Structure 1
């Protein structure tokens, strides 16, 4: 089972209220402060946007409790210490299985063969979460995917619950449309599609058993949400998909913005950034496939070939799975590759300061798997995207980028395999050919539009949350 293949249904409510923003309102003068319990799934790609939203809502007269596993909370404490004064961290007690000790209670660490076990442990945490709700007595609970049991748990207590989707509206509207109408032929946005080999990729590689789910789109995540659905996105970028999703689920879908952490001055200088600072403006390609995908040796070989076919500077982040941790960089790459590209390219094993690299003016494009977090971060910093989607929602996100004119997609064969030759063609389109400047200009304009609407969108989110809290008082 996977979210993109499980799909469900829903009221469009629009009640005018006074704006409730960060700069003071009549409600703030009354010192009303509602308590919001945020409960993301254990994946880093979910925890990160939930915490970004928590930071911004805590500045809008809301008290935030943030609930996750001990290992995820420890990571937050290390990287977000300054923001914790207005957010309370709440540990979720997860049972330890012999094969899944506490340090693996996050998808960032868990090997792929234990994904099912992690979800099983997460489902077993219901009693712990129930106890947390009973102790904190929040005014509203914000829940995530794999958590259709949460609204069922809190509803009898008169507590509203809102689903916050960390996936883009384009993906949700595409699959919700298929669920509602039985096919994609009537989907109004023909620029979004899946190729035959991509249709299997939307399924999870393992069967994930989830108890007590609704027979509805996305296991009832949207239909169980109290009047509204929050989604990571911006009207400045994906408004028509947000509107179509609202129509399909019959609820008001409220974008929260892109939730990109402003990297200015927040990271220490590193060897990577010093190297990048010596390159020319918009001259360097950043390559990264996210924190939870590991390239095969064949994919590494083809990307290497593509980089050798074009004379472009690059920073390439390569991650190896736990099973492959004995592989060295030298073994993974073509013989002599690292020596041949020395000076114009660096290969990083494991981690690099992505936001800092993308915000650097010398970065000219981002070769990405098009996970939603990577796409939104690239858009925020006006960096063109060279799309290399692999699975799940990534092909839809890639087509969204191309449709917006802010990137190109690497052409793959019928078997879904990309080649070095096609990658080099896409790199040249962005860095060498005249099309590159047009893409760069559109990326800049889109970034400006998204940033202009950011505060207004967050004000609207806070307003809708407070409305629900007041309604249930």
Structure 2
């Protein structure tokens, strides 16, 4: 490390969809010599160690997550619980405040990246540390009110207006206080695409808004599990449908079955990675009647963790059905598989899906306007569009995807973006030091 190197602490929301991209960003920063102290629930490091490409610079600091009444014992992240219990995970995370304070006093990083812990900026300010509110999503359409929503999405988001999200604090207030009290705000993206949005948001927020780059994940430091490679190699190039709906979302049983029957209806080989649906103990018990026998040899339904990044790179995979998390979309965009968008009711995912569909880089599964439900026919239709070489929309989507992929894989693009991001972080810290010096001099 040299004098220009920074010491950065990472304290993301205890959800794998936040922990993982924060670690990907840590890799980008560590590659440039910056030191990272990564705060993580104590039983979770083994899930992320394979993605830590710079262990000499990125150090995991395990956090004891207090037990909160109503949570299963040992639950640390949202992947350990159902969606309805996520606010209790947030309550547990809030109760780590004293431990975080002690860690920060011991480590004294120059800046802390965070998202949902609205109390962090006040804590870091007392310690003379800067806070950086990193949303890890593109800035387009922020806030969500600027996105064209379907009736069921409007109703759901309206119902969450008064959603208590941990410790009696409303979800909206968590986000708003983070924006108000942080020293700077960060989004995923690059100036070539998101520049106008950033300038607008910087004016609205009254503080620096930084872009961390398009966020191309580095290859994990692990090998591909043989069983998946052997299975995929049985099929033609670009013929397999790979479906992953994230580590947290559980489908209702009827939607779970509708998705699988839609995959069966395509007639294509498929690998579906899904959580056990609501009300069931195992995947097998929830399968449609006779489904396992009908798709034997060409279809797999898996409920455990899987090497998504490596599977997306496999030449047999031709289509990716995704819940539209930002990390999953980026992994899909830099690979050749076509993208089918199936967001649930997470505002970020809806925004991502609508942006991709509007720009014709993927196709969104049709849902009922009022009830928000998809059918086996709508799942099959979306897959057929992107997999059929004769479909006009499918050809346009393939062309647009290819252009985006080429743009993102331009190595100079990400390198330039991340270098600029680091330079802006240094500038933010230098300004702060200058202001502190001026303040001290004013007393004399």
- Is the structural similarity TM-score above 0.5? yes
What is the aligned counterpart of 2:359 among 386, 394, 404?
Answer: 404
- Please say if 1:319 is aligned against 2:275: yes
Structure 1: how far apart are the matches of 2:75 and 2:171? 29
Higher mean alpha-carbon deviation, 302-311 vs 407-416, is at 302-311
Distance 2:331 2:197 in 1: 19
What corresponds to 2:113 in structure 1?
142
Query: Unpaired runs of 5+ in structure 1?
Result: 1-27, 179-186
Q: Distance in 2 between matches of 1:66 and 1:123?
A: 17
1:160 to 130, 134, 137: 130
Say whether residues 1:174 and 2:174 are aligned partners. Answer: no
Distance 1:82-1:239 versus aligned 2 partners, 3 A rule: closer
Quote the residue 1:442 is aligned against: 400
- Alignment partners' CA distance in 2, 1:270 and 1:258: 31
Moved more, 95-104 or 268-277: 95-104
Give the superposition deviation at 1:194: 0.9
- Secondary structure, aligned partner of 1:295: coil
What is the CA distance between 1:251 and its match in structure 2?
A: 3.5
Distance 1:71 1:88, change over 3 A: same
User: Could you tell me the TM-score, scaled by structure 2's length?
Assistant: 0.87
Q: CA deviation at 1:220?
A: 2.1
- Of 208, 213, 219, the match for 1:263: 219
> Shift in Å at residue 196 of structure 1?
1.5
| Alpha-carbon distance in structure 2 between the residues aligned to 1:435 and 1:336 | 34
What is the Cα deviation at residue 57 of structure 1?
0.7
Q: For 1:213 and 1:369, how far apart are their aligned partners in 2?
A: 25
CA distance in 2, matches of 1:137, 1:212: 28
Contact map agreement 2:202 2:208 (CA 8 A) in 1:
yes
The answer to whether the 8 A contact 1:214-1:220 is kept is no
Is 2:26 aligned against 1:72? Answer: no
Q: 1:443 to 1:238 in 2, by over 3 A?
A: farther
Q: Is the 8 A contact 2:6 2:35 kept in 1?
A: yes
Does residue 432 of structure 2 align to residue 469 of structure 1?
no
Contact 1:213 1:220 in 2 (8 A): no
Q: 1:84 and 2:55 equivalent?
A: yes
Range moving further from structure 2, 51-60 or 30-39: 30-39
Contact 2:269–2:298 at 8 Å: present in 1 too?
Answer: yes
SS of residue matched to 2:80: coil
Of 86-95 and 123-132, the range deviating more from structure 2? 86-95
1:442 and 1:249 map into 2 onto residues whose CA distance is 33
> What are the Cα deviations for residues 171-229 of structure 1, in whole angstroms up to 9, with x where unaligned?
5x233xx4xxxxxxxx5xxxx31111112333659632447899978222223222x32
1:416 to 372, 384, 404: 372
Q: 2: CA distance between counterparts of 1:237 and 1:284?
A: 31
Q: Are the structure 2 counterparts of residues 213 and 224 from structure 1 closer, same or farther at C-alpha, using a change threshold of 3 Å?
A: farther
TM-score (norm 1): 0.82
1:127 shift after superposition: 0.9
Q: 2:323 aligns with which of 336, 356, 369?
A: 369
1:49 alignment partner in structure 2: 21
The higher-RCO structure (CA 8 Å, 6+ apart) is: 1
> Would you say the 8 A contact 1:236–1:446 is kept in 2?
no
Distance (Å, rounded) in 1 between the aligned partners of 2:253 and 2:366: 19
Task: Tell me, in whole angstroms, the C-alpha distance in 1 between the residues paired with 2:432 and 2:206.
Answer: 21
Which residue does 1:36 correspond to in 2?
8
**1:354 equivalent in alignment to 2:272:** no
RMSD, aligned CA: 2.7
Q: Distance in 1 between matches of 2:263 and 2:359?
A: 26
Structure 2: runs of 5+ lacking an equivalent = 434-444
Structure 2 residue 165 is the aligned partner of structure 1 residue 208? yes
In structure 2, C-alpha distance between the alignment counterparts of 1:408 and 1:258, rounded to whole Å:
21
Structure 2 residue matching 1:346: 3-state secondary structure: strand
2:89 to 85, 93, 118: 118
Contact 1:379 1:447 in 2 (8 A): yes
Q: Verify the 8 A CA contact 1:71 1:106 in the aligned structure 2.
A: no
1:275 to 231, 235, 254: 231
Structure 2 vs 1, CA of residues 445 and 98 (structure 1 numbering), >3 Å: closer, same or farther? same
The 1:201/1:234 distance shift into structure 2, 3 A limit, reads: farther
82-91 or 250-259, larger mean C-alpha shift: 250-259
Q: Is the 8 A contact 1:201 1:390 kept in 2?
A: no
Distance change >3 Å, CA 328–CA 36, structure 1 → 2 = closer
